[in-house]
Amino acid sequence: MSSPALVPALPRALPDARLRQWRRSAGRPLRALLFPLALLLVWFWAAQAKLLPEQILPSPVYVWQASLDAIQSGDLLMHIGWSAWRVAAGFGIGASLGLSLGLAMGLWPRLDDYVRPTFTAISQVPTLGWIPLLMLFLGIGETLKIVIIAKAAFIPVVLNTCSAIRSIPSSYFEVARMLRFTALQRLRLVILPAAVAPVFTGIRYGLTKAWTALVAVELLAAAQGLGFLLVWSRQMFWLDMMLFAMIVIGLVGFLMDYGLARVESRLQRWRLDPQAGA
């Protein structure tokens, strides 16, 4: 015979579990801020103690003032706009081509046998190593930047997409054949749902590579953009502006990766919960 005291305790179990889950989710951003805040305090202390001259390590106060000046003048938004346009164009081209080639290599092993050796050799050359050659054909205009960014995103997307297709269990394709799925149905109902996680890993990694390639190519051949702001501040010896540009580059890259992570989580939830896609 069950104890009467257990009966009223059951309805409270679910709210308590939800409360604990909410506390964990709410505490995660706070924990993520602890390390940056600690670095900021160490930076402020080192500047106040004058461990290095101000010309080498400016105080966070000076960096904050430089950020306000850049925002009020509109220069920051202009540089972010140029960088965002370049990375969007280059990453869009590179990721689209990478998904297509990776899908084809994963589905047709014969094609992979022909393409893989050459592709592997090309991928071993660093992205910046292509700049001198491409400058001869493309100059130093926007086309060069977009091609370099596209190449940086192309490699990881191809590799992860091909690996994702190859890792799909063969039983999935056998079921698709039994159900007489068309090629489009196999792609939409079998391949994409099963490969969404590793494919998005490649897309996120490709975006990271594209962003770093963007900053590097803007350091070498640009008159606008965050990379140009970084090198221009160094040349003018405005280290407060240079540090601010580095912070902005890191924040923008983090926000782009976070946005893709949210899209991936929604797709994963749709894949695991059939009713979510209904």
User: Residue 40 domain-assigned?
Assistant: no
Q: Is the pTM of this model over 0.85?
A: no
| Single-letter amino acid, residue 128 | L
User: Residue 255 domain-assigned?
Assistant: yes
User: Residue 29 domain-assigned?
Assistant: no
Between the alpha carbon of residue 222 and those of residues 182, 216, 219, 229, the distances in Å are 48, 10, 7, 10
* pLDDT 10s digits, 4-51: 544 454 455 545 656 566 556 556 667 777 888 888 888 888 878 877
User: Residue 176 domain-assigned?
Assistant: yes
User: Residue 5 domain-assigned?
Assistant: no
The CATH number of whichever domain residue 124 belongs to comes to 1.10.3720.10
Cβ–Cβ under 8 Å, residues 117 and 190: no
Tokens of 170: 């063969």
Domain count, the chain: 1
Produce one character per residue of 7-29: b if its CB has 16 or more CB atoms within 10 Å, e if not. eeeeeeeeeeeeeeeeeeeeeee
Q: Is 237 left (phi over 0), alpha (psi -120 to 50) or beta?
A: left
Cβ–Cβ under 8 Å, residues 216 and 87: no
Q: What is the pLDDT of residue 1?
A: 46
Domain span holding position 220: 60-269
User: Residue 224 domain-assigned?
Assistant: yes
Q: What is the pLDDT of residue 41?
A: 87
Which regions of the chain are under pLDDT 70?
Answer: 1-29, 267-278
Greatest CA separation found in the chain? 87
Q: What is the pLDDT of residue 278?
A: 42
User: Residue 175 domain-assigned?
Assistant: yes
One-letter-per-residue 3-state SS of 48-78: HCCCCCCCCCCCHHHHHHHHHHHHHHCHHHH
User: Residue 9 domain-assigned?
Assistant: no
Distance, CA of 184 to CA of 10 (rounded, Å): 48
Distance, CA of 261 to CA of 258 (rounded, Å): 5
Distance, CA of 143 to CA of 149 (rounded, Å): 10
Distance, CA of 160 to CA of 95 (rounded, Å): 11
Instruction: Collect all residues with Cβ–Cβ distance below 8 Å to 62 and sequence separation of at least 6.
Output: 54, 240
